[in-house]
Structure 1
Amino acid sequence: MPLVDSERVKAGPGCDPMAGRIAFEPLKAAWWAAHGLGGLAALLFFPSWGGFAVFILLTGLTICAGHSVGMHRLLIHRAFSTPLWLERLLVWLGTLVGMAGPMGMIRAHDMRDWHQRQASCPPHPSHDAGFFRDAYWQLMCSYRLKHPPRLEIEPEVARDPVYRFIERTWMAQQLPLAVLLFLIGGWSWLLWGICLRVWVSLTMHWMVGHYCHRSGHQGWHIAGLPVQGYNLPGWSLVTFGENWHGNHHAFPHSARLGVEKGQLDPGYWFIRTLEALGLATGVKLPASEPPRDGLTPIATP
């Protein structure tokens, strides 16, 4: 049975979530900045409708099918099941977003989730900083604990040869796509389809996380936790449903994030399409598992 969320994090004696420091990560910062410069070059020196179309199509594909559905709802939360070949394809598309490989994404997500479930949560994993400071922390730094918990990723993922290869080469996974784009559309398609796409994806992912942990619509409250999730109405078609983060805090097992009336969730639409094609099974909804301890609805006027 695959592990999900904080089940993977094993905290031993002396593990204090507050005993850590924020450390600058040169490679992480250089990755973000280099794609930003390439994206700026695309806008200034290679403006084209073709490049813009490539940017829109690849961003939608990698964020929706890859990150939101493949990495987040499938690999991390196991909110549904697919054939292994399709799971690997979706996870690979998620890697093309440019954040990390499969194990790296599990580690980043589950450690942040573990921090936010503790009685006290430091400002880095809780996004408890101003706009620019949090951008610097999230896009260029990491939070290093003095005595970190142990992360145990399920063997079917940790030992999977495809996932292990993608994890070792996750930055280089952009290269085959970059070569293809260059051969078809030259520098314009490469810069729009790789550099600008990756920079926008990384930056927007941080911004959604920043605002979804600070304020917004809240349909649910989880008692006893220092960090609550909030929804960002109006951003569904840009984030593919990831803007319903308050709902996700309430029902982390659910494949559907837009659980209330009128909450659009394109990622869930994609999962339902896979289900209709016989390629997704065991799709979980909020009522599929018992509610979280301390979960209470918040009445809206």
Structure 2
Amino acid sequence: MRMRREAQLATRDRCEVNWIASDSGADAVKGKVRWDPAHSLWNGGMLVVAVAFGAQTFSWGAFAVFVLLSGAFILLGHSLGFHRLLIHQSFQTLRPLRYFLIWCGVMAGMSGPHWIIKTHDLRDWAQRQAKCHPYLSHRSAIWKDAWWQLHCRLQLKRPPQFDLGEVGKDRFLRFLEASWMLHQLPLALILFALGGWGWVVWGICARVASTVHGHWFVGYLAHRRGPQSNLVRDAGVQAHDVPWAAIPTMGEAWHNNHHAYPGSAKIGVYPGQSDWGYALIALLQKCGLVWDVCLPRDMPDRKRSLESVL
């Protein structure tokens, strides 16, 4: 089974939008932005609690919990589990470790695995078109874009068709999708037992609020301004790097590199570009825990689609 899977991965286009089955007749421009009550109340609620109670519950212990858990779940969950593994399949790993990394992605607090896939790939697909809705290109004013991305969803009149395949049928991932908010509760109980309400406020609410809002802010900047190494031919939206965010995003902020080589497990491609996500993948590969790690050199044909601006 593993050999057949590796053969399939070796022959597929590592830069494709993996989970869109068909975009025949799809339109990336026409659609309406609607309020998304579940994510709006979740994101807004976490921010309100963090702002209202953060100062009065602050302690250095609570702050240390905030930093350590934020770093762990962004690195293991958002960067490795959700983005590089689940969405782009830039490496493969053992099923228990795969599930653990994806669970860590849920613990980052943005949403469940299916929602993350569809949201990411819709934007990925749309930005490759000649034109797309400003919701998908981050082309609105900053406060409007913040409201849209954190509290709303886009309903295209003619969206592309998704096929999640085995990922959509996987019972564990379906469970995570249905219960993603609830997974903070066991951790909250542990934090309360160890450090009281301060650890809960900083370890849950402040952490989730900063992760969600930070993810939006870096994404906003990464599609508007900053250094560029390559342009993707025929793409209506180009990406920029956000160097100051390289460490807090575990390497995800080298977004121009990511647009250039979407399937690469290494996003900090050039010398001096910090990429803790890939550093961990490389370590796990040496330990025999991951394999089929895709790098830019594994996509030699991709250069035909790029224009260097260095």
Tell me the TM-score normalised to structure 1 length: 0.95
1:92 correspondence with 2:103: yes
In the TM superposition, residue 107 of structure 1 has moved relative to its aligned partner by 0.7
Deviates more, 1:268-277 or 1:13-22: 13-22
1:231 correspondence with 2:280: no
The aligned amino acid for 2:251 is G
Per-residue CA distance 1:141-175 (angstroms, 9 max, x = gap): 111011222110131x1121111111110111111
Per-residue CA distance 1:68-99 (angstroms, 9 max, x = gap): 01110011111111101001000100111111
> Number of paired residues?
298
1:101 correspondence with 2:112: yes
Q: 1:251 aligns with which of 246, 261, 264?
A: 261
Per-residue CA distance 1:111-133 (angstroms, 9 max, x = gap): 11111111211100110111111
Counting only pairs closer than 5 Å after superposition, residues 1-301 of structure 1 correspond to structure 2 as 1=8, 5-11=16-22, 13-155=24-166, 157-289=167-299, 290-291=301-302, 293-299=304-310
The 1:207/1:128 distance shift into structure 2, 3 A limit, reads same
In the TM superposition, residue 65 of structure 1 has moved relative to its aligned partner by 1.0
In the TM superposition, residue 42 of structure 1 has moved relative to its aligned partner by 3.9
In the TM superposition, residue 293 of structure 1 has moved relative to its aligned partner by 5.0
In the TM superposition, residue 178 of structure 1 has moved relative to its aligned partner by 1.1
The CA distance in 2 between the partners of 1:27 and 1:258, in whole Å, is: 34
The aligned amino acid for 2:168 is A
The 1:12/1:115 distance shift into structure 2, 3 A limit, reads closer
The aligned amino acid for 1:80 is F
Residue 41 of structure 1 contacts residue 191 of structure 1 at CA under 8 Å; is this kept in 2? Answer: no
The CA distance in 2 between the partners of 1:104 and 1:245, in whole Å, is: 21
In the TM superposition, residue 292 of structure 1 has moved relative to its aligned partner by 5.9
In the TM superposition, residue 212 of structure 1 has moved relative to its aligned partner by 0.3
Per-residue CA distance 1:237-290 (angstroms, 9 max, x = gap): 111101100000000011000101111111111111111221111111101123
Q: Secondary structure at the match of 1:110?
A: helix
Residue 42 of structure 1 contacts residue 192 of structure 1 at CA under 8 Å; is this kept in 2? Answer: no
Q: List structure 1 runs of 4+ shifted beyond 3 angstroms.
A: 1-5, 10-14
In the TM superposition, residue 27 of structure 1 has moved relative to its aligned partner by 2.1
For structure 2, the residue ranges without an aligned partner over 5 or more in a row are 1-7
C-alpha RMSD of matched pairs (Å): 1.5
Percent identical: 41
Residue 42 of structure 1 contacts residue 196 of structure 1 at CA under 8 Å; is this kept in 2? Answer: no
In the TM superposition, residue 14 of structure 1 has moved relative to its aligned partner by 3.8
Deviates more, 1:54-63 or 1:268-277: 268-277
The CA distance in 1 between the partners of 2:308 and 2:159, in whole Å, is: 33
Residue 251 of structure 1 contacts residue 292 of structure 1 at CA under 8 Å; is this kept in 2? Answer: no
Residue 218 of structure 2 contacts residue 245 of structure 2 at CA under 8 Å; is this kept in 1? Answer: no
The 1:257/1:19 distance shift into structure 2, 3 A limit, reads same
Tell me the TM-score normalised to structure 2 length: 0.92
The CA distance in 2 between the partners of 1:136 and 1:42, in whole Å, is: 23
For structure 1, the residue ranges without an aligned partner over 5 or more in a row are none
Residue 139 of structure 1 contacts residue 203 of structure 1 at CA under 8 Å; is this kept in 2? Answer: yes
In the TM superposition, residue 184 of structure 1 has moved relative to its aligned partner by 1.3
The aligned amino acid for 1:147 is R
Q: Secondary structure at the match of 2:155?
A: strand
The CA distance in 2 between the partners of 1:124 and 1:90, in whole Å, is: 29
Residue 79 of structure 1 contacts residue 283 of structure 1 at CA under 8 Å; is this kept in 2? Answer: yes
More helix by share: 2
